[in-house]
């Protein structure tokens, strides 16, 4: 693999930079860089800007309204948008359910749902995890019983990210309780406005509402909302998870965060000298940078494989493991770089509109919250322990 960019790819990078200079709202970039909470309107605004430019579905083929970009172009786009402080595209519609629909969905499902993802008509959330069925996803108990032209869904999902905003949820449901765990599961598309659905907030440590519980009480779902075959939803589930895990690596975001770390540490002094000159701290930064370069190369190999018609395989587990560890290490170093100023936590400072005065430098205010929030990376999308088992079996043959 040639790791040098061609003149055409460098020209593409300039094209993306021009787009970001012209279209990325400065106040939105300031919120992202300042670690502020983004609202529903913020996400919708950025998705609309990307969609208008044809840049929302960078992983989609042109036939479905995507960019048709090469893996390197997508990588450059991720790098530049993260470096500019653009919000990350919400993955649930564009990068999770959409690939499943393209591979397993009916033509009618593709025709209806894919354009609605592009134009923002639908906000999707994920109905995978349940109490008692997280890393052991096949242990899920939410039932869907066929009754004529509907499924009747009963059960509970949890850790449903931004479900309070969603009008659609893709769900794994058990349609054959007598079958082996992975063989009695189906993949359903459910309208969140259907009677019988209740969304309850889970308030996180930082006082925010990022996740929810979703309850289903005799919810009627049309049979045409089944994706793939009944009781054969496990391949859909695994296919979606490989795309999710690849995205969790967050290479562009990690590179932007590393630059922020160097900037913050360069302004902090230890014994009268910048913290970046402290041998112990500098060694940890260098370790992160080296590991990030290696992860970036692996990521390019994986997306190149996907571009040639394959799907992300067990390599996505490697990306998930190493990407989550790196991003956690960066937030740890950011927290340590400001020392005791990371300790005071005022939830109001996470909002863009606040009269609260931070303790210490403003850049220190969100660091503790970000540090704790990043702990989730090694859990969701399949815990890192589960991913190591996948790597051991699928790649190492153990």
Any idea which of 37-46, 286-295, 386-395 has the lowest mean pLDDT?
386-395
Average pLDDT over residues 296-314: 72
pLDDT at 361: 83
Residue with tokens 């209740």: 198
Q: What was the pLDDT predicted at 397?
A: 85
From its phi and psi, is residue 158 left (phi > 0), alpha (psi between -120 and 50) or beta? beta
- The count of other CB atoms within 10 Å of the CB of residue 169 is 26
Of 244, 296, 329, 363, the catalytic one is 244
Does residue 69 register a pLDDT over 80?
yes
Report which of residues 335 and 394 the model is more confident about: 335
In this predicted structure, what is the pLDDT of residue 383?
Answer: 86
Strands (E), 240-365: 269-270, 273-274
Task: Look at residue 189 in the predicted model and tell me its pLDDT.
Answer: 98
172-194 residue pLDDT tens: 999 999 998 889 999 999 999 99
Handedness of CA 75, 79, 84, 89 (dihedral sign): positive
Write down the pLDDT at residue 47: 97
Nearest to 318 by CA among 397, 253, 395: 395
Distance CA 248, CA 270 (A): 34
Residue 94 has pLDDT above 70, yes or no: yes
How, if at all, do strands 185-191 and 168-174 pair? Answer: antiparallel
Distance of alpha carbon 388 from its chain centroid, rounded?
Answer: 20
322 vs 54, 221, 313, 316, 382, CA distance in Å? 31, 39, 15, 10, 13
What pLDDT score does 216 carry?
A: 98
Query: What's the CA gap between 200 and 50, in Å, rounded?
Result: 31
The upper half-sphere exposure of residue 396, i.e. CA atoms within 13 Å in the direction of its Cβ, equals 10
User: 289: Cβ–Cβ under 8 A, 6 or more apart, which residues?
Assistant: 258
Write down the H helix ranges in 119-269. Answer: 234-248, 251-267
Name the helix (H) or strand (E) containing 113: helix 107-118
Q: Which tens digit of pLDDT belongs to each residue from 255-273?
A: 999 999 999 999 998 899 9
For the record, the structure tokens of 179 come out as 């079958």
pLDDT bucket at 281, cuts 50 / 70 / 90: very high
Note the pLDDT of residue 75.
86
Choose among 397, 319, 328: nearest CA to 367.
328
Asked if residue 330 has pLDDT above 80, the reply is yes
- In this prediction the pTM is 0.87
Name the least confident of 22-36, 44-58, 94-108, 291-305.
291-305
Within its chain, how far is the Cα of 129 from the centroid?
A: 15
pLDDT above 60 for 2: no
Tens of pLDDT along 310-327?
Answer: 666 777 888 889 999 999
Give CA angle at 287 (286, 290), nearest 5°. Answer: 85
Mean pLDDT of 355-381: 84
pLDDT at site 310: 61
Task: Tell me the two tokens of residue 235.
Answer: 């391949």
Whole-angstrom distance, CA of residue 309 vs CA of residue 305: 7
Quick count: other Cβ atoms within 10 Å of Cβ 123? 23
pLDDT digits (tens, 9 = 90+) for 210-265: 999 999 999 999 999 999 999 999 999 988 887 777 667 788 899 999 999 999 99
Top pLDDT among 111 and 359 is at 111
Percent of the chain past pLDDT 70, that is, above it, reads: 96
Whether the pLDDT of residue 114 is over 90: the answer is yes
Per-residue pLDDT band for 3 (boundaries 50, 70, 90) equals low
Contact residues for 12 (Cβ-Cβ < 8 A; gap 6+): 73, 76
Angle (deg, nearest 10), helices 234-248 and 315-337: 40
27 is catalytic: no
Closest residue by Cα to residue 61 from 45, 44, 75, 74 = 74
What is the band of 132 on the pLDDT scale with cuts at 50, 70, 90? confident
Give the per-residue pLDDT at 359.
80
| Structure confidence at residue 308 (pLDDT) | 65
Return the H-helix or E-strand segment holding 187: strand 185-191
Residue 335, pLDDT score: 93
**366: pLDDT strictly greater than 70:** yes
144-166 confidence digits (pLDDT tens)? 999 999 999 999 999 999 999 99
Least confident of 249-263, 295-309, 334-348, 375-389: 295-309
The per-residue pLDDT of the chain, averaged, comes to 90
């Amino acid at each position: 693999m040639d790791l040098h960019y061609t003149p055409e790819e460098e020209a593409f990078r300039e094209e993306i930079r021009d787009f970001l200079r012209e279209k990325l709202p400065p106040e939105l970039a300031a919120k992202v860089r300042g670690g502020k909470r983004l609202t529903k309107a913020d996400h919708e605004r950025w998705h609309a800007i990307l969609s208008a430019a044809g840049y929302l579905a960078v992983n989609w083929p042109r036939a479905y309204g995507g960019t048709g970009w090469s893996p390197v172009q997508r990588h450059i786009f991720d790098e530049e948008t993260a470096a500019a402080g653009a919000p990350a595209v919400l993955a649930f519609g564009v990068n999770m359910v959409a690939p499943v629909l393209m591979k397993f969905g009916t033509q009618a499902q593709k025709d209806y749902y894919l354009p609605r993802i592009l134009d923002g008509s639908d906000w999707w959330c994920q109905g995978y995890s349940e109490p008692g069925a997280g890393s052991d996803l096949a242990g899920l108990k939410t039932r869907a019983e066929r009754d004529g032209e509907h499924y009747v869904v009963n059960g509970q999902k949890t850790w449903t990210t931004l479900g309070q905003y969603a009008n659609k949820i893709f769900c794994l449901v058990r349609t054959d309780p007598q079958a082996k765990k992975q063989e009695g599961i189906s993949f359903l598309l459910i309208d969140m406005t259907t009677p019988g659905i209740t969304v309850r907030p889970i308030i996180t440590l930082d006082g925010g509402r990022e996740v929810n519980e979703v309850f289903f009480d005799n919810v009627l779902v049309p049979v045409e909302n089944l994706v793939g075959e009944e009781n054969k939803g496990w391949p859909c589930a695994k296919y979606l998870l490989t795309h999710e895990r690849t995205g969790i690596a967050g290479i562009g975001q990690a590179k932007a965060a590393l630059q922020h770390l160097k900037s913050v540490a360069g302004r902090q002094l230890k014994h009268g000298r910048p913290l970046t000159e402290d041998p112990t701290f500098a060694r940890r930064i260098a370790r992160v940078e080296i590991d990030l370069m290696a992860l970036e190369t692996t990521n390019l190999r994986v997306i190149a494989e996907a571009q040639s018609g394959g799907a992300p395989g067990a390599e996505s587990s490697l990306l998930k493991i190493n990407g989550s560890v790196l991003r956690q290490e960066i937030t740890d170093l950011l927290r340590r770089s400001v020392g005791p100023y990371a300790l005071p936590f005022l939830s109001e400072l996470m909002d863009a509109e606040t009269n609260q005065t931070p303790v210490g430098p403003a850049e220190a205010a969100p660091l503790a919250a970000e540090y704790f929030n990043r702990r989730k990376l090694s859990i969701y999308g399949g815990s890192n322990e589960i991913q190591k088992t996948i790597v051991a079996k699928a790649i190492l043959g153990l």
